[in-house]
Each structure stands twice: as C-alpha cells, then as structure tokens.
Amino acid sequence: MTWNNSMSVNVESLDAQHKAIIALINELGDAMNAGKTDVVIGSILSKLIAYTQYHFDYEENCMIVSCFAHHDHHKCEHDGLKKKVKALEKDFLAGKANVADEIMNTLQQWLDHHIMKTDMLYSSHFTTIGLQ
Ligand SMILES: [Fe+2]
C-alpha cells in the first residue's frame, strides 16, 4: 500500500498518522510474505493495534472538541474495526490457520472504506476550523 494525495484529509496531523498506519500495515504484510516467525508478526500486529487505538482516540477527540455532527457514526466504525482486529489478533495468537490473509484483507478494506470514505467526511469541517 502506498499513501497518495487522494488519501489526504487535508489535516497535517491526521495525514501523518494515516501514513504511519500504512507503513505499519506494509511492515506487517512484508513480515508475513517473508515467512517471519509468529513472534515477529505478533509484535508488529500489536504495535499496529496500539497505534491505531491512539489514532482513533485522537480523531474522536478532534471530532468531540469541534462538535462534528457525525461523531457517533464515525466512532461506531472505529469500534467495529477495533473489535474485529482484536478478534483476529486473538485467532492469530491461538495459531488459527489463514488468519494472516484475513488480517491483511480487513486492513485493506478499512483503508478503502474508512480512510477513503468515512474519514473524508470530516475533512472540510476540520479544515474550516483550522485543525492542523
Ligand atoms: Fe476515522
């Protein structure tokens, strides 16, 4: 996955966080493709989950303090993804087969659906209030 301008929400801090998430997704994908050990893959996965949690909290806080109208729906999508990825991590740690592909598919879908669509909905609101 490569970050490009079509993914920009026009807020510097949030673009930087999205880039960091994509870098972690790529690190995870590379480790899986290279057949790294479960310990290595598990540690990248937990780093990705922790950073995503931080990013969601940051975004949600920006929405709350700026009274963004669609905060609830947005948070609901975040919560759904957090739950799904946590469940996949549990499956991975339990050694369930084919979890790696499912994790990468989920992250790709999240990028396509959430970052490319739902996150775009706050872009003009945040730029209007001058969020950087
Ligand atoms: Fe979001």
pLDDT digits (tens, 9 = 90+) for 56-101: 999 999 999 999 999 999 999 999 999 999 999 999 999 998 898 8
CA 119 to chain centre: 11
Interval between CA 49 and ligand 1 midpoint (Å):
14
Whole-number pLDDT of residue 25? 96
Interval between CA 74 and ligand 1 midpoint (Å):
6
Q: Which CATH code for domain 9-128? A: 1.20.120.50
Whole-number pLDDT of residue 40? 95
Interval between CA 104 and ligand 1 midpoint (Å):
18
Q: Is the pLDDT of residue 54 over 90?
A: yes
Looking up tokens 């880039």, which residue turns up?
A: 19
Q: What percent of the chain has pLDDT over 70?
A: 100
* Mean pLDDT of the region 98-106: 91
pLDDT tens column, 60-71? 999 999 999 999
Alpha helices by DSSP H, listed for 34-115, are: 38-65, 71-93, 99-110
Interval between CA 78 and ligand 1 midpoint (Å):
6
Whole-number pLDDT of residue 101? 87
